[in-house]
Amino acid sequence: MLKHTLNTNLRLDTRLEPAVILRSEILALPLLQLEAKIKEELAENPFLESEEFETSDKIADDDAIDQKEDINIEEFMKEFSNYEDNFPQYAKDDDEKNFQQPMIKTLKDSLYEQISQDGFSKIQTEIAKKIVDNLDECGFFTIELSEISSSFDKVDDEQVEIVLKKVQLLEPVGIATRNVQESLIIQLRSRKLYMEDSLIVLKDYFDDFMNNKMSQIMDSTGISRDQMLEVMEEIKHLNPKPGASRVLDSWEKSFDNNSAIVPDFIIKRIDGKLQVFLNSPSIQNLYVNENDAKIMLGNSEMDKKGKDFVRSKFEKAKWFINAIAQRRRTLKKVMYSIIKFQNPFFEDGPDKLKPLILKDVAEDISMDIATISRSTKGKYAYTEFGIFELKYFFTDKIHTDTGDDISTTLIKTRLKEIIDAEDKLKPFSDQKLSEILTKENKHIARRTVQKYREQLSIPSARMRKEI
């Protein structure tokens, strides 16, 4: 005999609407990645259009469609969306559409562009982009191959390794390597001409070379002093951290850093007041093609599956436009708040940078810290003092004897200035650097000097000493 029971289960789920997820993703994208996303959406969604990318081909011809079916398009437009009823039809900003912005590329976007043009298959392109997304600030690939391969169906570690080696030969050569040694070897081998002694030193005596034990290398290899100087000169022209925004003065840059940045913001002084412009020329031209949606939904010959497709694509176009508009509003609020806190910087320059944390901005504009983090990560601002990554404006503080707070960024800047001016035959120890800063009313312990020096990718006094 069957036994009937009635069970009641309660479960608490947190589910984010797809439009909300999209809005977070769009907010986090730097400019050129956003523009790549826009081109992708324009290619896939027939109801998302742009004056810049619009073609003469129409989805449907007005005269060729029978609109006899009784359908209330206005109700559809009003009620279909579960996101926002008052979505903007256009993603434009009249204050910005005629503004001429500088267009410069970020390193990540430059790699994306090279991947798309450098003979990668479709799946290799996706793997390569995943690799680029997982580079650290110095350009090194620090995760396991399995973390990439597990993101794809039927992709193993060996396939990821093949793609990784192709990425390592993009510009700057040596990017996406696992460590400095591997990066330098790849850079050296990529040259048409290089000294075999340099390769031997990098492959077999790397630790000794990094610890400035040149005499031991010469004794072990038979390399003469003059040859050793040539080896040092050749290796010096390689880049130990190809993805870093700053490299050591004792190593020459392999690419022009200023040409590898696209500012998301342009800060201009107009009539004595600082104004924020978003560097977004193509974004301003987006709009939702409502007319085509009406025509297609009014076609009596279109079946339910087709109309569901139309509704879905139209809805996604609305979400996308709304996410772009929300991104603009949020980024402007965040940037104006940064200007408010860092006004001395924008008035007088980097020497006036003040301590600031994400929480300060979040409380100022009533947003959560995660939103501020997405708004600032990987984004740059063009100012009259140069181009700065937004994280530059967020810095911890230390207390001086006078009771004032000073930005740690200013301490690091001063530390680098002292080291740049030192006698390279007798470089300052960390203790000496601490004493110099203390005399300038910047009390920093020796261990803190060491930490800041390492964060600046500046080697120890022993490594800075020249022969």
pLDDT in tens, 136-145: 878 899 889 9
Please identify, among 258, 288, 304, the residue that sits at the C-terminal boundary of a domain: 258
- Asked whether 192 and 204 are in contact (CB, 8 A), the reply is no
Q: Is residue 353 part of a domain?
A: no
**Could you write out the DSSP letters of every residue in 226-294?**
HHHHHHHHHHHTS-S-TT-SS--TTS--SS-GGGG---SEEEEEETTEEEEEE--TTGGGEEE-HHHHH
369-375 long-range contacts, CB within 8 A, separation 24+:
371/27, 371/330, 372/334, 374/24, 374/27, 374/28, 375/27, 375/330, 375/331, 375/334
Average pLDDT over residues 385-413: 74
Structure tokens at 243: 């993805």
Please identify, among 196, 223, 258, the residue that sits at the C-terminal boundary of a domain: 258
Lowest-confidence region among 2-16, 314-328, 415-429: 2-16
Predicted pLDDT at 11 = 56
Q: Is residue 358 part of a domain?
A: no
Predicted pLDDT at 334 = 95
Structure tokens at 127: 């793997």
Q: Is residue 195 part of a domain?
A: yes
Q: Is residue 437 part of a domain?
A: yes
In angstroms, the CA 327 to CA 29 distance is: 10
Structure tokens at 463: 């490594």
Number of domains in the chain: 2
Q: Is residue 253 part of a domain?
A: yes
Q: Would the CA dihedral through 55, 58, 63, 68 be positive or negative?
A: negative
* Average confidence score pLDDT of the chain: 77
In angstroms, the CA 57 to CA 43 distance is: 13
| 82 against 444, higher pLDDT | 444
In angstroms, the CA 180 to CA 202 distance is: 10
Q: Determine whether 420 is exposed, middle or buried from the number of CB atoms within 10 Å of its CB (0-12, 13-18, 19+).
A: exposed
The residue among 190, 193, 166 whose CA lies nearest residue 177 is 166
Q: Is residue 87 part of a domain?
A: no
Predicted pLDDT at 168 = 92
Q: Model confidence over 269-313: pLDDT tens digits?
A: 888 899 999 887 556 577 877 776 676 766 666 677 777 777 888
Structural domain containing residue 151: 107-258
Please identify, among 233, 258, 283, the residue that sits at the C-terminal boundary of a domain: 258
Predicted pLDDT at 175 = 92
| 415: CB partners within 8 A, 6+ apart | 433, 437, 449, 452, 453, 456
Q: Is the pLDDT of residue 23 over 90?
A: no
Beta bridge partners of 399: 405
The amino acid present at 9, given as its one-letter code, is: N
Q: What CATH code is carried by the domain that includes residue 443?
A: 1.10.10.60
Q: Is residue 443 part of a domain?
A: yes
Q: Is the pLDDT of residue 101 over 70?
A: no
Q: Determine whether 245 is exposed, middle or buried from the number of CB atoms within 10 Å of its CB (0-12, 13-18, 19+).
A: middle
Q: Model confidence over 311-357: pLDDT tens digits?
A: 888 888 888 888 988 999 999 999 999 999 999 889 888 878 888 88
The residue among 367, 329, 322 whose CA lies nearest residue 82 is 322
Q: Is residue 305 part of a domain?
A: no
Q: Is the pLDDT of residue 122 over 60?
A: yes
What are phi and psi for residue 106, nearest 5 degrees? -80, 160
Lowest-confidence region among 4-13, 346-355, 376-385: 4-13
